[in-house]
Every structure is written in C-alpha cells, then in structure tokens.
C-alpha cells in the first residue's frame, strides 16, 4: 500500500471516517473515549468544506458517536450500518434481526465470570471486549462461536481490535457507505473512506468498487485498502491538510 494521494478535491469528495483506531485511539473501556476540541473543530470545518458530505462510519451506536463528538451532530452510520443518519438529523434504523435475549444473557454471564471482559449491547447485536484481559482471547472466541453454532444464521462474528462482535449479517460498513452515497449531500461525489480494522474491509471494498479512495490506518497483510497512513495522528494531519486544500 502507498501513501494517500497528495491532492483531494473537496468539491467532489465524500468523506467517510471510522472512529476508534482511526480518528481516536482505543481506550480500555468504550465509554472512556472522547474527542478533544481540536478534532471537533477539524471535523466541523471539514464538514463545511465538503458541503456536508462527511459521515462517521462506526461499529458504535449513533448515540455514542453524538456523545463523543458533542456538540457536533454529523451524518453517521452506527452499528456497522444498522443505524443510518444521512443529514445530521433523524436516525433511521435498518430492518435487521435482533440478537435473542438468551444470547445476550449468556454473553453477560460469561463477562461477569471473567475479570476484564466487557459486553457492549449494540443495535441488533453485541460486542465482547477483552482489551483489559487479552489473555482471555481464546476463551472469548470459543464462547462466542459456541453461541453462534446452529442458532444465529442471520448474524456473523466480526473479529475486531480486542473485540468480538456478533452483528446482523445484512449490515456492514460497505453497504452503509453505498446507502449514504444516495443522500443529497453525498450524491455524485467520490467516496473517501478511512478505517483501521478488519471490520473496515467491507468499506474499503465498497469504495474501491465505485472508484473511490480507501485509506487504511496501519498496514495489514491482505487488506484491500489502496493507501496507508501510520496512526491517528497522521490521519488528523492528512485531514487538516485536506481542509486547507494542501493534502
């Protein structure tokens, strides 16, 4: 993978930005993540520069994104596309299956029995975090896969950064980006997607297929992203240069 292009046509670009690991570094607990004033100002300025064609695309809920970036209320895809908000106004939930209560209960019981493991309930699914207990990765994986076996055909397991997520199979970041490209602010623009995790590969594939730019944070063998930047600091610098017209 190469470095991102040195020019970005803000009049023709639609920016799609993952959050954790892309705009912000990871924290031990998802609720500990918060955006600083400089990042909020940067995103607010970029949102204006691209005519409103900037969306956050995250595994988080839109409510969580709003908390992190308040008072900004940006277009967003939450829960890997389970929720969509095209214009910063109302959130539209996608028609997806909901994770059975007995599966949620089993995940919560497993987490309560293992220090450092956390369950995060999401629209249509759930995430099992083990960032505080990386030595329990194998046990977490075995528990999630055992719950999936023969029972959850409408769901898939997303293997993220210190997290295993059970999400609706019909929802992914690629489909979310393609859906947002039909919204008035985004229509006719060239999509640019920045992400860092395995769950962002669907987004990379989608923007590649429609002639967009896919930019990965941190190199990963086998990624379909066209370009790479080193870390969240480099993402901010590249976006700031794009805002100034100097990317």
Interval 106-157: pLDDT, tens: 999 999 999 999 998 887 788 899 999 999 999 999 999 998 886 677 888 8
pLDDT of residue 165: 87
**Does 89 lie in the same domain as 40?**
yes
CB pairs under 8 A, 24+ apart, for 46-51?
Answer: 46/15, 46/239, 46/242, 46/243, 47/72, 47/74, 49/10, 49/242, 49/243, 50/10, 50/13, 50/14, 50/15, 50/189, 51/11, 51/185
Residue from 9, 18, 38, 115 carrying the catalytic annotation: 18
For this structure, is 18 an active site residue? yes
Average confidence score pLDDT of the chain: 89
**Does 130 lie in the same domain as 43?**
no
pLDDT of residue 247: 45
Does residue 99 carry a pLDDT above 50?
yes
d(C-alpha 6, C-alpha 16), whole Å? 18
The CATH number for 238's domain is 3.40.50.1000
Model confidence, pTM = 0.84
What does the H/E/C string look like for 76-130? Answer: EEEHHHCEEECCCCCCEECCCCCCCHHHHHHHHHHHHCCCCCEEEEECCEEEEEC
Count: domains in the chain: 2
Q: Which of 144, 168, 192 is the last residue of a domain?
A: 168
**Does 180 lie in the same domain as 139?**
no
Q: Which of 137, 168, 199 is the last residue of a domain?
A: 168
At residue 3 the predicted structure's pLDDT band, cuts being 50, 70 and 90, is confident
Q: Which of 111, 137, 168 is the last residue of a domain?
A: 168
Asked, for residue 5, whether it belongs to a domain, the answer is no
d(C-alpha 207, C-alpha 4), whole Å? 14
For residue 223, what are the domain limits? 13-94+172-243
Using one digit for the tens of pLDDT, what is the confidence trace for 167-181? Answer: 888 789 999 999 999
Using one digit for the tens of pLDDT, what is the confidence trace for 66-92? Answer: 999 999 999 999 988 889 999 866 665
> Do 85 and 106 meet the contact criterion of CB atoms below 8 Å apart?
no
């Amino acid at each position: 993978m190469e470095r991102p292009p040195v020019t970005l046509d803000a009049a023709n670009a639609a920016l799609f930005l993952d959050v954790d690991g892309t705009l912000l570094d990871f924290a031990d607990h998802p609720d500990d993540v918060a955006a600083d004033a400089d990042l909020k100002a940067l995103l607010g300025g970029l949102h204006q520069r691209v005519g409103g064609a900037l969306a956050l695309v995250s595994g988080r809920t839109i409510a969580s994104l709003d908390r992190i970036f308040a008072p900004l209320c940006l277009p967003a895809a939450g829960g890997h596309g389970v929720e969509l908000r095209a214009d910063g106004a109302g959130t539209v939930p996608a028609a997806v299956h909901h994770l059975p209560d007995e599966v949620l209960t089993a995940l919560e019981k497993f987490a309560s029995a293992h220090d450092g493991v956390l369950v995060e309930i999401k629209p249509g699914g759930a995430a099992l975090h083990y960032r505080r207990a990386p030595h329990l990765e194998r046990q977490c994986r075995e528990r999630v896969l055992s719950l999936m076996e023969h029972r959850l055909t409408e769901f898939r397991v997303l293997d993220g950064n210190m997290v295993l997520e059970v999400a609706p199979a019909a929802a992914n970041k690629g489909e979310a980006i393609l859906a947002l490209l039909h919204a008035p602010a985004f229509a006719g623009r060239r999509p640019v997607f920045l992400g860092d995790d395995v769950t962002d590969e669907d987004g990379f594939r989608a923007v590649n297929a429609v002639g967009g730019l896919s930019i990965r944070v941190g190199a990963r063998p086998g990624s379909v992203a066209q370009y790479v930047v080193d870390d969240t600091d480099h993402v901010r610098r590249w976006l700031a240069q794009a805002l100034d017209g100097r990317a």
